A and B are shown apart, each in its own frame.
Chain A
Amino acid sequence: MMIVTTNEIPGKRIVKTLGLVRGNTIRCRSIVRDITAFLKHFVGGEIEDYTKLFGESREQALDRMIEEAHALQANAIVGHRFASSEIMAGAAELLAYGTAVWVEDL
């Protein structure tokens, strides 16, 4: 599955547009990790626990979007974007979306 942020894929042509595909998730870490992360505020630096949390959300949202694209029998997703919002503090909500297409070599 080819995923690009552009609307076209150089070297390929879009034969069929199959529609919007998206995948979202909201994940949080445990309160233990939240307390450690809070303590990091005093000393600065990367909050590894939240970096990991964000990475987990990104991968899960991506996988869900890809699953939808597979269900539509697409072989590529164009115009891919991520969007995030905040439902609750300490949780990472991510929405991955794009347009599922069928592409062929030029």
Chain B
Amino acid sequence: MAGDERQQQLMMAYVDDELDPREREEFRAQMAADPELAREVTQFQNLATMTRDLKLKEPTDYEWDRFWASLFNRLERQTGWVLFSLGVLLLVGYAAFEFLSADSIELPWKLGGCGLFAGAGLLFLSVLRGRLRTMKYDRYRGVKR
């Protein structure tokens, strides 16, 4: 097994012309003795040549436009949502603080308000947990249109 691995490494290095002269000669001798190995090396050499000759296609102007539009769109939306969420949290927090610290509101109202929001929060968490659990198996999330 270790010998196979060593030979694979030597083969890759030979194809990429990374062997020193002594190793190269040694590997050539191995190839001469093993036609199967020589055939495999030729296949890899062909593959390496093909990979080197591959030219990446330049994106068109339309594709670049789409890329930048999508990037800006995402940045704008994410920034917008972060600001919006922070604003909501701040307002809700401040409203809760005012509600709980106001002397003019009697204790039963405060308790009722707390129960209402705690219950709604708990229900939301339960729905969220259920959704996160099913999301992993939702085959339809990838549907675009």
| A interface with B by C-beta (< 8 Å) | 27, 32, 36, 48, 51-52, 54-57, 59-60, 63
Query: Which of A36, A55, A60, A63 is within 8 Å of B145, CB to CB?
Result: A55
Provide 16 A-B residue pairs closer than 8 Å at the C-beta atoms, listed in order of the A residue.
A27-B140, A36-B77, A48-B145, A52-B143, A52-B144, A52-B145, A54-B145, A55-B143, A55-B144, A56-B141, A56-B143, A57-B140, A59-B143, A60-B139, A60-B140, A63-B139
Interface size of B by CB at 8 A reads: 8
Residue on B nearest A54 in the bound complex, by CB: B145
| B interface with A by C-beta (< 8 Å) | 77, 81, 139-141, 143-145
Q: Which residues of B are found within 8 Å of A59, using beta-carbon distances?
A: 140, 143
A63–B143 Cα distance when bound, in Å, is 13
Q: Which residues of B are found within 8 Å of A48, using beta-carbon distances?
A: 145
Minimum CB–CB distance from A105 to chain B (whole Å) comes to 32
Q: Which residues of B are found within 8 Å of A63, using beta-carbon distances?
A: 139
Minimum CB–CB distance from B129 to chain A (whole Å) comes to 15
A84–B19 Cα distance when bound, in Å, is 68
A32–B82 Cα distance when bound, in Å, is 11
Minimum CB–CB distance from A64 to chain B (whole Å) comes to 11
